[in-house]
Amino acid sequence: MNNDPFIGLIQCVLFVLIGGYIAYFHNARLQAVHIALSIVVLAVVGRKVAVYADLALATALCLIIATGIVVIPFACQFVLSLLGSDADSSDVDPLTGLLNRRGLQRAVVEMGATGHASSKSSYVVAIVDVDSFKSVNDSQGHEEGDLVLRQIADRLRWCGGEKALFARFGGDEFVLVDTIDVGAAPAFEDNLRRHLRIDDRDPVVTTSVGVAITSAEWSSIISDEELTELFRVADASMYRAKAAGGDQVVMWDGKQ
């Protein structure tokens, strides 16, 4: 639209900036439309410069600007994917592959906001602490201690459903957040007892587990306050299990 086609050609650089903006905030379909429109406009303006000014200069500028229009959005997407990968990895415990404390906090916030429990389900939080874990490290070495933690992490995965959240809070403490059918608490407790005890080691590795479960009357979408209370009660129940000698599960179902 500029009276001077050469200046108009230079102004086509703005398409590069717009492409970068679309890469960050919009979808690939809009980006494709933008690139197509930008190339058409660039070709029209470049042709004017070639006819009324300098063919070589017009060609060179068009190639440079077209390269920016095409390359910059892909570069932005690549940077975004790297940032996303870093964010994902920062939420994962490198030893066990479970979520870490930060990752679980994010996932729990999302769970509290969306909810996935039906009217016939209850939310449950289980906090697991390995009994006498320090003695494993001291007597068998840290490599064996790491192996025990990985085994507990694998066994914890057997105790939850498809949408369960599993985390290691650091040290020898693990967390499971899930939903279970109303009335399934005894089966869930038995599952924890069977899987979170490693009998094929010498000495046997046991755990203290505290469980908090919502009553059936709670709503299908759980609030942050309700989840926080479940964590507090599960933690207290875990310490009760440990104080009683360990190797047991202490449950709280909102009725005690």
- Which value, in Å, is the radius of gyration of the alpha carbons in the chain? 29
Q: Which of 4-8, 27-31, 109-113 has the lowest mean pLDDT?
A: 109-113
Percent of the chain with pLDDT over 70: 87
What phi and psi values does residue 14 have, to the nearest 5 degrees?
A: -55, -30
Longest CA span, the chain: 91
pLDDT tens per residue, range 82-109: 665 554 557 888 889 999 888 888 887 7
Residue of higher predicted confidence among 215 and 26: 26
Return all residues near 27 (Cβ < 8 A) that are at least 6 apart: none
Taking the chain, what is the end-to-end CA distance rounded to the nearest angstrom? Answer: 77
Cβ neighbours of residue 255 closer than 8 Å, sequence gap 6 or more: 215
pTM attached to this predicted model: 0.63
Nearest to 222 by CA among 127, 123, 124, 125: 123
